Amino acid sequence: MKTDYSDIIERVLIDEESLKLKIKQLAKTINTYYEDKDTLILVGILKGSVMFMAELAKSLNIDLQMDFMVVSSYAENTYSSGNVKILKDLDIDIKDKEVLIVEDIIDTGYTLKKTKENLINREAKDVKIVTLLDKPERREVEIKPDWSGFKIPNEFVVGFGLDFDQMYRNLPYIGVVKRSFYENIEDAK
Ligand code: IMP
Ligand code: MG
């Protein structure tokens, strides 16, 4: 099956070239910050962060290891309750390690707040956050990324790892989803 993306995407918010350029700039800052520190553990939050993490890691020239977690930001049936469940944990022991959480987007902030607290409790030496996208208007809990790619308006976006119902992660750009598209789907449920 092949989708006509013009049925789904209202407009391109951030094109491929701008994403790559911004990620290179983030990598430069992160390289400088960690250059005199111990081996860095990049912790990608699956699945949204995969493209960002891969692109970022290619431009990092410091010693690092990569690991991944799957977290769900809400318990069953309770949207944004603030509970974070770890569905897949890290393989690496992060005690006394420099940790950088790599996330696709910060929305309400619950996922990252809870995940960061969890990693700090494992006695990591330091836990920082880099996010590709940030929707500050939607924040419900206080959490600030240490490094952020783009602040975006309160619209639902897909592509470059971000999904709608597990689809469209493969788009090489960040696109705004047509409201009519997801409202139709909600009606159909
Ligand atoms: P929160 O900050 O705990 O509300 O959750 C952030 C998570 O919600 C992200 O990791 C994404 O998986 C998802 N999310 C939030 N906004 C969007 C969006 O516009 N498109 C796709 N996923 C989103
Ligand atoms: Mg996510």
The whole-number average pLDDT for the span 69-75 is 78
C-alpha–C-alpha distance, residues 177 and 156, integer Å: 6
Match 């956050």 to its residue by tokens. Answer: 129
Kindly give the number of the ligand 1 atom that is closest to the alpha carbon of 111: 3
- By DSSP bridging, strand 147-151 and strand 157-158 are unpaired
- Note the pTM of the prediction, 2 decimals: 0.93
Q: Compare 186 and 29 and report the one with higher pLDDT.
A: 29
Bridge partner residues of 9 (DSSP):
177
164: β partners: 167
Task: Give the nearest ligand 1 atom to 73 CA.
Answer: 3
Say whether 134 is catalytic.
Answer: no
Among residues 107, 126, 146, 163, the one annotated as catalytic is 107
pLDDT in tens, 130-149: 999 999 999 999 999 999 99
| Mean per-residue pLDDT, 28-32 | 98
Of 66, 96, 71, 92, residue with least CA distance to 82:
71
Mean pLDDT of 156-178: 97
- Cα angle at 174 between 98 and 150, to 5 degrees? 50
Is the distance from CB of 12 to CB of 173 less than 8 angstroms? yes
**Position 169, amino acid:** R
Our measurement of the distance from residue 1's CA atom to the centroid of its chain's CA atoms, rounded to an integer in Å, reads 28
| Pocket test residue of 104, 135, 170 for ligand 1, highest count of atoms within 8 A of CB | 104
